[in-house]
A and B are shown apart, each in its own frame.
Chain A
């Protein structure tokens, strides 16, 4: 039976009158099946919020399938900087009924549920949209976003612009009609929900997700070549590069397998193109021999590992911080490397740039660890002026080199001047065998230790450029929270909460997890009453590494490995 809709009927929900949104932030979760247009609608919503001056953090979850299953897109909104996602939901937008059953227990006391009026839910905070009014199923997502945006007071024109920017003016007509209808319908219901504050002069900010930031950072650093094999969550890095390949003159190639991808990148880099290879744990496993190839041939290459739960296929579309030790040790033989683990969208951009700089300077493989959560998280960041940023210029000046050119000339800092093949009469010889200074394979064992030492000596330079872990808060804290990678925001938020409860809290966050320089941080471990390491894995990999490098034993760990990201709620719950 179709629910009657009385125009102009004011409906006042029990307990909702004049009730503000929970806390300082509003958390909206959109849930539905794959294929319902959840991500598209969510992205438009998120951008509209930032354009209106709000800060956001988006967390996405989805299953390893193309249709059906259960997917979510949550947007946490604030007028101050939003650091991380949150489990508790203020507005639940359900594109299918299953979403409600799955997330009911996360709803805050005054949380709202928006869905299809036909479902006839009994919850007190239920808003059933008359979906038949909103035409076909294709536009349900727009209708729900319209109602959600209207509820929190977003300007309809801002959302309309977001729709036009996404679909283009010609293909937006239907969506814009639906948007208008949903705003109109909402006005008629006259629900009372505290609107977000009006921000008269929104500062211009960028909205992007972690892997878009990685790709853009790479381009800004001078990337020219990328080879990849599609694998969740890292395909999006390659796809972003592909989208800009024509404009930025890039060669992006889908390889026949991961072994081909990394070897192609090494070939490209050897010949003078800064190269990147995005992959995930299982794909990286196939690349490991080539990591050692890059090391011994001293060829720059940046490898981005988007971590997800393993071993083997694991949970393809979930998140974990499980490959720290793998990235640390991958590649037979002994050679130096650097591993970055960005904790924010900005760090994705800037640390990828740093990885390219180090790869070229120290002529070897460098790593950036992201994870599924960070890959798909949208956030708002300050605009980046790329016109002033430096970029990598491979290869040295051939005229400054005397013949015969020695590709692996032994030098004080271990770095040999690198020429590129074909650009001058000098011949460039690189070899996966142990080799002489000239590059040819050698069985002369007296050369061997010299070459090993030379390569390891480059590690001194890498160590001199380590980005120290970020320490915030009380130098003599009762609690020191240690973290790495994408948990940065959640840990900061937990610390803020604890400080508001008058606890003396400090945080120590590692955005570069290798090398570690104990002098940069051991005093913080020693000066804090209780040290807790927060990680998204089962064995506390960073805490193990800290112990190895410093001897310090971290007795308490907060670990999460159910495939979901760490939130401040999770941390506080497990303290």
Chain B
């Protein structure tokens, strides 16, 4: 029986009051709810304060390069589909540096869960705008206010008919745990964009700011309704819908590889007899 203490307690490098603290808690709770033991899970992280999260629980971990969590997670999942693979990093890592990989994960529908800590700012590098910063946000690096319109990950994912698209908020912990439980259980690519405050560098999108705006979806909401989902994805401002916004079932990427039908790649014996036959064709 897995318990939360199996996931350990670690000293962190985060600022007091950081949104990562409740977020880490929800991740542990979700893993326990899914009855997953630490060794059954592989976290793959990029670089940033968010990417440190998997260092602070017991699990397998590959902490890679900025922007590159998704490809590493993809390679790992293809090698051992038996592992529960969770890619976890921040909005800059996933939507900026790793933008191409984000799009491709959706297209592949690789069975990984992507947790994006979305605090609308770059925390570790001290306060530059991130791809999800609202227009007009003033930072040291963007002293005249952010000019670019923000990246809308939910809209992109839904437009591309991603299999599982959700948004959560760290201030609504139980709600977020439930989203994570579903996301991890979903077969195929799951995106959970997790709103959280950065108490050190984002003075606009604070706990209060999110509390006033985040509204859980009603139980009557049908996440398989694509048109409703794409409309919801455009909602941002006075009301920010949180919950599972869109889901659709389709084959996950690993399923189409004949090599994986006999089991994980790791541990498969080399079929020398077949290779001998292949060499013969070169005579």
| CB-contact partner of B71 in A51, A204, A220, A267, under 8 A | A267
Return the 10 tightest CB-CB contacts between A and B, nearest first: A267-B75, A272-B266, A267-B72, A421-B60, A268-B75, A264-B75, A263-B71, A249-B259, A271-B79, A256-B104
B279 within 8 Å of A by Cβ?
A: yes
State which size class the interface on A falls in: 35 or more
Closest chain A residue to B10, Cβ basis: A440
Bound-complex Cα distance A440 to B10 (A):
11
Contact call A272/B283, Cβ cutoff below 8 A: no
Bound-complex Cα distance A251 to B64 (A):
22
Instruction: Give the contacts of A428-476 with B (CB-CB under 8 A).
Output: 428-433, 439-441
A396 within 8 Å of B by Cβ?
A: no
B80 → A minimal CB distance (Å): 5
Contact call A225/B75, Cβ cutoff below 8 A: yes
Bound-complex Cα distance A394 to B264 (A):
13
Task: Report if A427-B59 is in contact (Cβ < 8 Å); known contacts: A263-B71, A271-B42.
Answer: yes
The residues of B that contact A428 with a CB separation of less than 8 Å are 60-61
| CB-contact partner of A205 in B75, B257, B283, under 8 A | B283
Contact call A290/B65, Cβ cutoff below 8 A: yes
Contact call B275/A431, Cβ cutoff below 8 A: no
Give the interface of A toward B (CB within 8 A).
51, 204-208, 212, 216, 219-220, 222, 224-225, 227, 244-251, 253, 255-257, 259-261, 263-273, 275, 289-290, 293, 297, 383-387, 391, 394-395, 420-433, 439-441
Contact call B75/A427, Cβ cutoff below 8 A: no
The residues of B that contact A253 with a CB separation of less than 8 Å are 78
| CB-contact partner of B55 in A208, A222, A441, under 8 A | A441
B258 within 8 Å of A by Cβ?
A: yes
B233 within 8 Å of A by Cβ?
A: no
The residues of B that contact A422 with a CB separation of less than 8 Å are 39-40, 42, 60, 80, 82-83
| CB-contact partner of A427 in B38, B63, B80, under 8 A | B38
Closest chain B residue to A208, Cβ basis: B282
Contact call A273/B39, Cβ cutoff below 8 A: no
| CB-contact partner of A206 in B62, B262, B282, under 8 A | B282
B103 → A minimal CB distance (Å): 7
The residues of B that contact A433 with a CB separation of less than 8 Å are 63
| CB-contact partner of A222 in B74, B101, B270, under 8 A | B270
B199 within 8 Å of A by Cβ?
A: no
The residues of A that contact B80 with a CB separation of less than 8 Å are 271-272, 420-422
Closest chain A residue to B269, Cβ basis: A391
Contact call A207/B44, Cβ cutoff below 8 A: no
Given contacts A207-B283, A255-B71, A257-B100, 10 further A-B contacts (CB under 8 A): A248-B278, A249-B268, A260-B70, A271-B266, A387-B276, A422-B40, A429-B60, A429-B63, A431-B61, A432-B64
Contact call B64/A268, Cβ cutoff below 8 A: no
Contact bitstring B72-111, A, C-beta under 8 A = 1, else 0: 1111101110110000000000000000110110000000
CB-defined A-B contacts under 8 Å, sample of 15: A205-B283, A249-B265, A250-B259, A256-B100, A259-B68, A266-B75, A272-B265, A293-B64, A387-B276, A421-B60, A421-B76, A427-B38, A427-B39, A428-B60, A432-B47
A244 → B minimal CB distance (Å): 6
Contact call A432/B63, Cβ cutoff below 8 A: yes
B219 within 8 Å of A by Cβ?
A: no
Contact call B276/A267, Cβ cutoff below 8 A: no
The residues of B that contact A426 with a CB separation of less than 8 Å are 39
Contact call A247/B62, Cβ cutoff below 8 A: no
Contact call A206/B279, Cβ cutoff below 8 A: yes
Contact call A244/B278, Cβ cutoff below 8 A: yes
B279 → A minimal CB distance (Å): 6
B47 → A minimal CB distance (Å): 7
Contact call A427/B265, Cβ cutoff below 8 A: no
Contact call B265/A268, Cβ cutoff below 8 A: yes
Instruction: Give the contacts of B45-66 with A (CB-CB under 8 A).
Output: 47, 52, 55, 58-65
Contact bitstring B242-283, A, C-beta under 8 A = 1, else 0: 000000000000000111101011111011111111110011
Closest chain B residue to A262, Cβ basis: B71
The residues of B that contact A265 with a CB separation of less than 8 Å are 75
Contact call B83/A271, Cβ cutoff below 8 A: yes
The residues of B that contact A439 with a CB separation of less than 8 Å are 61
B152 → A minimal CB distance (Å): 20
Closest chain A residue to B278, Cβ basis: A244
